[in-house]
Structure formats: C-alpha cells, structure tokens
Structure 1
Amino acid sequence: MSEEKLNPLVELVLARLREFYREPAIVFWVFGFPLLMALGLGAAFRSKPPELPRIGVVMVEESAESLELLEKLKAHPAAITEVYDRESADRALSRAKVDVLVLFDAQGYETVIDATQEKGARAQLEARDILQTAAGRKDPLRERHSRVTKPGSRYVDFLIPGILGMNIMGSSLWGVGYNLVVARKRKLLRRYGVTPMRRPHFLLSYFISRSLFLVLELGVLVAFGKLFFGMTVQGGLLSLVVISILGAAAFAGISLVIGARISNTETANGWTNLVQMPMWLLSGVFFTYERFPEFLHTPIRMLPLTALVDGLRGVYNDGLTLAGLLPEVLVLAVWGTVGFLIALRTFRWQ
C-alpha cells in the first residue's frame, strides 16, 4: 500500500493554525483586545450634542443698556454665560473654562478670545450674534435651518476602521516575523530546513494562515460595530475583505523581512516597534493625518497602514469599490510583493 503524498504548503498552513488555537493568549490579543479598545474609545468619544459656547462677562462699566444685554445673554439657550471680575475672567480664559470674554463699557462691548483655543472664534461669533440681535439688529435675509445625520460622520465610524487596520498590522507583524525569530532561536527552523519542502512554501504558509484568521477578525469587528454602535458597511463586504487581505499581505511582507535573518527576540521586538509605532501616530488611526503639514501628506499616504485605513474607511463609510481605491490597492500590493521577494532572497534557516 503506497503512502499518501502530503502537500507541504497545506501541512504547513495547518501547523500554523494549530499553533494559533493552542495559545489562548494569542486568541485574546487577536480578537479580544481590539474589541475592548473599540468599546472603550467608542464610549469615550460617543456621539453627543455639540457643546454650547461658554461666555464670560465682565462689567467694566455698568449701564442700563449693558445690564439689559447681560440678562438677554444669560437667558439665551444657545450659550452658557457667567459673570466674572476682570482678574478671574482672564484666568478662566487662560484655563479654557470660558471660550470668549465680553467686556461691557461705556462705548459698548469688546470680545476677547485666546487665539490658541479652537473654540474661541466660533464662540466669539455666537456672542456677537446674540448681542447684536438683542440690541435690535434685523437680518435682511430669511433663514431656514435643518439638522441631518450622514452615515459615517460620527467619530466611532472613523475609529472602528482605524482599529481594524491597526489590528491587522499588529497581528501580522507579531504573528509572522516575530514567530520566525522565536522558531529560529529555538533551533526549529533548522529542522524545517531538512524536510522536503521549498522555502516559498514555508513563507507562504504564514501569510495564508494569517489571511484565514483575518476573515474571522473582520467578521467579529464588523458584527461588534453593528451591534454596539449601529454601524453599517456602506460598500461591499467583498471589497472590505479584499482590502483587508491586501493589508495583511503588505504587513506580512514587511514582517518576513524582519524575521528573515534576525535570531534575537529583543532585536526583533525593537524592529517591530520601530515599524509600527510611527504609523500609529502618522497613519490616521485615531485622528486624521491631514492635521500634519501638507508637505507630509504624500509620504504619509505611501505608508501601508495609511493605505489600509483609508481603504477600509472608503468601503466602510463612503461605499467605495476597489476601483475607487486603486491608489490604496497599489500601495499595499507593492509593499507586500517587495517585502516577500526580499524575504525570499534573504531568509536563512539558522
């Protein structure tokens, strides 16, 4: 009776899967930790009504007119008004307890804002509008106001795709390259090297097993967002899966380069943190990278985490297809392909 011929790639993928589910700690960091982070940040930055501008009033010189305006200002529902003496008012403004100061004197009033506080300009306009209207101003045009809520406009809609992208990056870097280093340190790679398999089979097994778990991660986070925050994927689920797999491939390629030769876990730890920590800051996981100077936007868009997060948000919030995400797809494909080819040439068993 002839022995059954085993496929090296299939057997290696199965081995990677067994390594995963036999370690409960890994299961927590892949599935549990992202959910806890999403729940905590989603609760902290949950949707709530806009904050009313806080107006501090100082009566430099009192008059019947200024007292009347003060009462109308305090009664207006669109602002929160408190009266201070001058010293307390300056201190409240410097500590951001008020957004704008209104100083009443014999000539009328003066508004003062702190130029470093982003709420100051809006509060100044609001205070001016309330006071001028109270003094009898008539607007020449008739106004109508509406309130709408667009899909994807909440912070949690911005956050969940960012956390998903960050989790794909972290689990790919630590689950692929770092595991290679650990196996090399334990002399396991040398044993693999004498088995009847090719080097591409061995490296591809890490990526394929990572992609299989990625589908589960994606499903868990999408269901979590729907259940707890009422989020809906505006685009196609297939596009979401494809862009996620491309992201995993990009980071797997980078991770394979890190793990191709390093045999010291401390060195691997340093390189892995060096790769991921700048992208945590630059790539728009928790806040948009457009806050950085404009000349940095193009280099930041070339980072794999930026391309991944932009792609996920494009599908999740804007309903884009892969055709509409071609720049992001190309960036991720280049990172993954180049990383795998470099790792294939530089990899050593011991």
Structure 2
Amino acid sequence: MGFSFQRFRAATIARSIEFLRDRSALAWNLMFPVLMVVGFAAIFSGPGQPVFKVAVVASAEPSPAMHPFLGTPHVQFYREPELEAAKRKVARHRVDLLLDFSGEKPRYWTNPESPKGELVEKLLLGSGGVAPEKQQATGKPIRYVDWAVPGILGVNLMFSCLWGVGYVIVRYRKSGHLKRLNATPLRALEFVSAQIVSRLALVMTTTTMMFVGCNLFMHFPMEGSYIDLFILTLIGSLSLTSMGLLVAARVGSEEISGGLLNVISSPMMILSGAFFSLDGSPRWVQALAEIFPLTHMLSAARSIMLDGTRLIDLGYPLLVLVGTTVVCMSFGSLLFKWTQD
C-alpha cells in the first residue's frame, strides 16, 4: 500500500483543528513573543551604562604585547576572524572600535557617529606605542530590539516546533491514540508527515503574523529580502521540528519526553545568541553554539535583516539546517513506533 494523499490530508487537518481548539496554547504562542519584544524594547532601547567592546583582527589572541592599548582595563577585547565582518559591526555600532594587526601597518576603524567609539579612540591614542592608521566605517546604529527580535521569535518558534511535535506524539502514544490510529489504514509515514506539515503551517503563520504586527509599531530594519527571510525561517522550522520528531519516535512517557526536550531547548536558548551576542565569549562556548541549528538560523536571519545578505550567500548555515533535518527526520522515521511496547 503506497502513500495516500487523502489520508495524509485528513491527518493534517485533524491535528491543525486540535491545536486551534486549544485556545490557551494558541494565545500563548501569539502573546509570548510579542510581550518579550515589547519588554526588551522598553528595557534596552534607552540609554544605558557605557560598555566598551573592541574587536581585534590578528593572527593571535589580543595581548598588550601587540600594543599597549590592549592592556587597558574596563575594555573588552576579543579576536575577530574576518576584517569585513568586523567593519560591518563597527558601522552598525555593535563594537566601539576595530583594531587590525593583520597587515604590515596597524590600522583602526571607528564610527564618527558613535559617542562610545570616540571615547575608546581617545584611550587608544593616549595609551602610548605606535599610533595605528585611522579608518572610518559609517552606518546608522541598530537598536537592541532590532538585533534581538530574530532571537525572540526564533526561541518561540523553537519551543513551538519541539514541543508541538515531540510532546504531542508522546502524549498520543501514552493515551493509546496512536494504537487506535495504527488499526486504521493510516501509515506511519503519512501520520508523521501530517504532524510535521501541520506544525510548519501553524508556526509559519503565527510567526509571520507576529513579525508583521510588531514591525508596524517598531519598524525593524530590513536590508535584505523578505522572501529570503521567509524561506530561511521555513527551513529552520523544519530542522527544529525534525528534532522534536526524533525525541518522540520511541519515548512512551511524557515526563521523559519533557526532560529530553528541556535538555535540548534550554542550552539552545542560552547559547544560540538569541538575546545577547556571543562575540568575545570563550572559544569553547562559541564551538558549542555551532552544534545547535537555532544558532545558524538566527545568525543567517540577522545577516539578511541587518546586512542585506542574500540567501544564496548563506551556504554554511543552510547546509547545517538541511543536514540536521535529513539526519533527524531519517532516524525519527526509522525508529518510530505506534505503541509503548
């Protein structure tokens, strides 16, 4: 018996209606990210304490041996691997100053519109040693909420994808619902596909509505293409949903599935760069963050929104997201069982 589109469509509609009838879950999925966006905008959009961050492009970790300025207290120095990426951060006011020791003569970049950059420049010139050659990187600043909104929506999307598939399927198995479905002509592939498509449709609809609604009031910058951002979000949602499917493939206890989903979602929420930049964090933290698909989805979304990067130029993040989807989907489908036995 082959794949039946009619059975697949019926299962998809049934799951979608079940979610829409759960008004508390629907309201939470809609209101939670909106409240977070408003809260972060109110807390972080105003003036704050001056915190200096300096990016350093060099072959080794920044140290006073390179230049006396690198020993200045109360200034965070971190190594930046790519000069062009660091220059964009200066232009966007994400770092206060950029030092380049990769060429024959040291150079530094500041943004003439950045008050903090001007102060750090004075510290640099007054620190002694050979004065680097001055360059400028101009660009309008981005608000914290502009940088954080992909993370806020991404975290909400992550929870919806993981729990909306992982927890629900386990609940079906424990209650005997899957056992009854197994007695029907519905095949495992049709059921799993229906769950994924239903979740993707609901997640993409609610996320789009929230983004558009918040954008009407906060006017997020968009240097790239909305179509590219939509496609990226769809691929990222599929990747996260496939992880939820892998968790739910054989687990028969809601408690165990909840624990596994928390083990996956908690570090992903903290280390993916959703609410704060990982620039300057320890190398092992950045390496660990590379494991999570949410990290790549958020970095790619910010590249599209803030830097105007095209989707075709985001090969590595897309490769990670697609690879995660293929691996998790394959193992989830192979390991899937209808009953707890």
Which residue does 1:327 correspond to in 2? 316
- The amino acid that maps onto 1:156 is V
- The equivalent residue for 1:25 is 24
**Equivalents in 2 of 1:329, 1:146: separation in Å?**
29
> Normalised by the size of structure 1, how large is the TM-score?
0.70
Greater gyration radius: 1
Residue in structure 2 matched with residue 267 of structure 1 by the alignment: 256
CA distance in 1, matches of 2:331, 2:121: 63
* Displacement of 1:235: 1.6
* Cα distance in 2 for residues equivalent to 1:210 and 1:20: 9
Written as runs of structure 1 = structure 2, the 5 A alignment for 1:1-350 is: 7-48=6-47, 115=73, 149-150=140-141, 153-350=142-339
Partners of 1:146 and 1:294 in 2: how far apart? 27
Q: Runs of 5+ in structure 1 lacking a partner?
A: 54-113, 131-142
Computed over aligned residues only, the root mean square deviation of the Cα atoms, in angstroms, reads 3.3
TM-superposed CA distance for 1:116, in Å, is 5.4
Q: Over residues 44-69 of structure 1, what are the superposed CA-to-partner deviations in whole Å (9 max), with x where a residue is unaligned?
A: 11144x7579xxxxxxxxxxxxxxxx
Equivalenced residue count is 272
Q: Per-residue displacement from partner, 1:220-249 (whole Å, max 9, x unpaired)?
A: 232233222221332222211111111111
Offset, 1:115: 3.8
SS in 1 for 2:32: helix
Residue 170 of structure 1 deviates from its aligned partner by 0.6
Aligned equivalents of 1:296 and 1:186: distance in 2?
Answer: 40
Distance change in 2, residues 1:148/1:248 (3 Å): closer
Q: Which amino acid aligns with 2:266?
A: M
The 3 A distance-change label for structure 1 pair 127 and 202 is closer
TM-score by length of 2: 0.71
Counterpart-to-counterpart distance in 2, 1:146 and 1:292:
24
Alignment partners' CA distance in 2, 1:52 and 1:318: 25
Q: What's the offset of the Cα at 1:23?
A: 0.3
Structure 2 Cα separation of the partners of residues 127 and 246 of structure 1: 41
| Partner amino acid, structure 1, of 2:245 | L
Is the CA contact (8 Å cut-off) linking 1:285 and 1:309 kept in structure 2? yes
Looking at structure 2, the residues matched to 281 and 305 of structure 1 have their Cα atoms a distance apart, in angstroms, of 11
| Identity within the alignment, % | 28
Per-residue Cα deviation, 1:140-191 (whole angstroms, up to 9, x for no partner)? xxx9x998524xx221111000111111111001100100011111100001
- C-alpha separation in 2, matches of 1:51 and 1:256: 44
CA distances 1:72-127 after superposition (whole Å, capped 9, x unpaired): xxxxxxxxxxxxxxxxxxxxxxxxxxxxxxxxxxxxxxxxxx94576xxx99x959
Q: Is contact 1:307-1:331 (8 Å) kept? A: yes
**Bigger shift: 161-170 or 291-300?**
291-300
- Asked if the contact 2:32/2:156 (under 8 Å) is kept, the reply is no
In the alignment, which residue of structure 1 is the partner of 2:69?
none
Paired residue type of 1:173? L
Change in Cα spacing, 1:257 to 1:126, as seen in structure 2 (3 Å) is closer
Shift of 1:199: 1.1
Amino acid at match of 1:26: A
Equivalent-residue separation in structure 2 for 1:33 and 1:305 (angstroms)? 18
Task: Compute the displacement of 1:341 (Å).
Answer: 0.7
Structure 1 residues 160 and 186: CA distance shift in structure 2, 3 A: same
